[in-house]
Structure 1
Amino acid sequence: MLVQVPVWLWIDEQAWNPHSAEAEVPGGAVSVTATPDRARWSMGDGATVICEGRGVAYVAGRHDPAAASPECGHTYTRASTTQRGGAYDLGVNVVWEVSWESSEGGGELDPLVTTAEADAEVVESHGLVEPTG
């Protein structure tokens, strides 16, 4: 990643699907469904980005590399070279809304949170213009 170049943030479409489980016992059954709701990105440079949804995947050739994400993105303003290991600690928490249904009724449970982390190396790019001739 480069300083001052927009970074697009997204969760893979297959990972952004509801998950359900069912259980049956004599006399009843229950179904629980967890649905992804939002993503909270910790960018490692002190910034937090909250996205209502999975974001839009960047596709080379279809999207302008200088354009900001239409849904979920961040622009680093300094390189990560001063950080431990030369990278920012990038993390994302996905909040899942959880509901249940049974033959006796249904309702909402407390949200669940899943987490993923990665290192994000951010560098500066410098150009040099030399006179010709």
Structure 2
Amino acid sequence: ETYGPNTSSASAGGVTVTATAKVSRIVWSMGDGKSVTCTTPGTPYHAKYGLKPSPDCGHRYTKPSKKYHVTATSTWVIDWAGGGQTGQLTEVRDSSVDIAVGEVQVVS
């Protein structure tokens, strides 16, 4: 739902800790045996791009009219500071969805 950075703070006993989390990479398992690693949120598609491939994070299915099980594994880096200390944590999250890829052909 988000790429970050997301920042939040919590206080207890007079100590406030602030944490900032952001995605360092997402590995997409595309369901067709291929995977794509993205280190940016990607570039939103605009019609002016036509059929050009994504400049930074994309995938093109070669077998249309099929369902694919797609899994995204995101690696979050969390920097925290509070009480005179700092640190960094890493969190890995998985999410998946089934998608149908179709092909449209136009006869003129």
Query: TM-score range with shorter-chain normalisation?
Result: 0.7 to 0.9
- 1:127 positional shift: 7.2
SS in 2 for 1:38: strand
Q: Which residue number corresponds to residue 16 of structure 1?
A: 3
2:94 corresponds to 1:107? no
- Aligned pairs (5 A) from 1:6-45: 15-45=2-32
2:52 corresponds to 1:73? no
2:74 corresponds to 1:94? yes
Task: Answer 1 or 2: higher relative contact order, Cα 8 Å, separation at least 6.
Answer: 1
- 1:56 positional shift: 0.6
How many residues in Structure 1 have an aligned counterpart in Structure 2?
108
Output the TM-score relative to the length of structure 2. Answer: 0.82
Query: By percentage of residues, which structure has more strand?
Result: 2
Alpha carbons of structure 1 residues 23 and 77: separation in structure 2 relative to 1, 3 Å: same
| Larger gyration radius, structure 1 or structure 2 | 1
Question: Which AA in structure 2 matches 1:121?
Answer: A
Question: Which AA in structure 2 matches 1:28?
Answer: V
Structure 1 regions of 5+ residues with no counterpart? Answer: 1-11, 82-86
- 1:105 positional shift: 1.4
Deviates more, 1:94-103 or 1:40-49: 94-103
Q: Which residue number corresponds to residue 96 of structure 2?
A: 117
Deviates more, 1:46-55 or 1:71-80: 71-80
Question: Which AA in structure 2 matches 1:118?
Answer: V
Output the TM-score relative to the length of structure 1. Answer: 0.69
CA RMSD of superposed structures (Å): 2.3
